[in-house]
Amino acid sequence: MTWQAAGDGTGSGLFEGGLTWGVVLLGLLGLLALVAVCSFGVLARMRDRAADRRSLEALRAERAASAGADPNGDTATRG
């Protein structure tokens, strides 16, 4: 078995010149896009958790108000 070079030697020319400013710019833009996507995901999760906390507080306040308005005064059976 012999090793053969992949392709016929004609590349796209994108990386043939080594590390150029275009390659560095593409890398930085890719990194910036990755940071932006991750940051937006974290911010969305924080906003979602805050909305969950607000809805739980409203639910607890509603239950407390309905328990206080119980004509029998029996709050032990309420869950």
pLDDT tens readout for residues 17-67: 777 888 889 999 999 999 999 999 999 999 999 999 999 999 999 998 888
What is this structure's pTM?
0.51
CA 37 to chain centre: 7
DSSP class of 48: H
Judge whether 68 and 76 are in contact, CB under 8 Å.
no
Considering only CA atoms, which of 36, 38, 40, 16 is closest in space to residue 28? 36
Cα three-residue angle 50-51-52, rounded to 5 degrees: 90
pLDDT at 12: 66
Q: What are phi and psi of 15, to 5 degrees?
A: -110, 15
- The pLDDT of 4-20, averaged and rounded, is 66
